[in-house]
Amino acid sequence: MLSPCHIVNGHSSGTDVQGRTSLKEDLQQFLGGEAPLHQLDDLTKVNPVTLKTVLRCLQARYTEDIFYTNAGCTLVALNPFKPIPQLYAPELMQEYHAAPQPQKLKPHIFTVGEQTFRNVKSLIEPINQSIVVSGESGAGKTWTSRCLMKFYAVVASSPASCENHKMAERIEQRILNSNPVMEAFGELGVLCAVLQSHFLWDSPPSRREGVL
């Protein structure tokens, strides 16, 4: 973070001028570096951390059709404004679900879903989970929430048998059918001019095997 400017007799101190000069040099070095910005999958790796460097990094990833970026323990999602079915394919869900360490895969909403799913299903100490999906209108909150619910519906039942597959489809449909009701709570604050349409999803999977 940038430290506040020190004012001495109405003028910036020499230390502050040197700090701004150093920051400007670091900024030019980062933006003009040889390493492609789209390869930075975590914004904590951005140095220096400024609005310009963060936005430039996200822009570079967006142009490469990379729409998910970590920011420490937070996932930043960009709305692609176009269909990308392969990004949410069932096969990709299973890949994140089967990965020994899903956090080492590319940033994705499925990483968040799998980590919370494992915490809830933990045999040592199950922990209730909450996922907060927030953003401005049109950012993709509803879509992200639906992707999470579909992910849980797919991974909660093993597709080993036809009966389990049908059960997973029924679970998925029931969860997706609940989306309009859940979304209505988010829109209620907008209609009352009190809250923005921020979506809070607090519905962790059940600890019982194969049941949401």
**Residue 113, marked binder:** no
**Residue 32, marked binder:** no
**Residue 184, marked binder:** no
Parse the chain into domains and list their residue ranges.
Answer: 1-72, 79-212
In this prediction, what percent of the chain has a pLDDT beyond 70? 59
Rounded Cα distance between 51 and 48, Å, is: 10
| CA nearest to 62, candidates 39, 83, 38 | 38
Query: What tens digit of pLDDT does each residue of 73-104 get?
Result: 999 999 998 999 899 998 999 999 999 999 99
Q: How many CB atoms lie within 10 A of CB 157?
A: 22
Q: How many CB atoms lie within 10 A of CB 89?
A: 11
**Residue 189, marked binder:** no
Mean pLDDT of the chain: 74
**Residue 104, marked binder:** no
Picking from 22-31, 61-70, 135-144, which range would have the lowest pLDDT averaged per residue?
Answer: 22-31
Query: What tens digit of pLDDT does each residue of 47-79 get?
Result: 888 888 889 899 999 999 999 999 999 999 999
Q: What is the pTM of this model?
A: 0.66
Does residue 127 have a pLDDT over 50?
Answer: yes
Place of tokens 């009190």: 194
**Residue 186, marked binder:** no
Query: What tens digit of pLDDT does each residue of 102-115 get?
Result: 999 999 999 999 99
**Residue 161, marked binder:** no
Place of tokens 């933990």: 122
Task: Please give the CATH topology (third level) of the domain spanning 79-212.
Answer: Kinesin (3.40.850)
> Which residues touch 120 (CB under 8 Å, ≥6 apart)?
126, 127, 128, 129, 204, 205, 207
Does residue 193 have a pLDDT over 50?
Answer: no
Name the residue with higher pLDDT: 2 or 72: 72
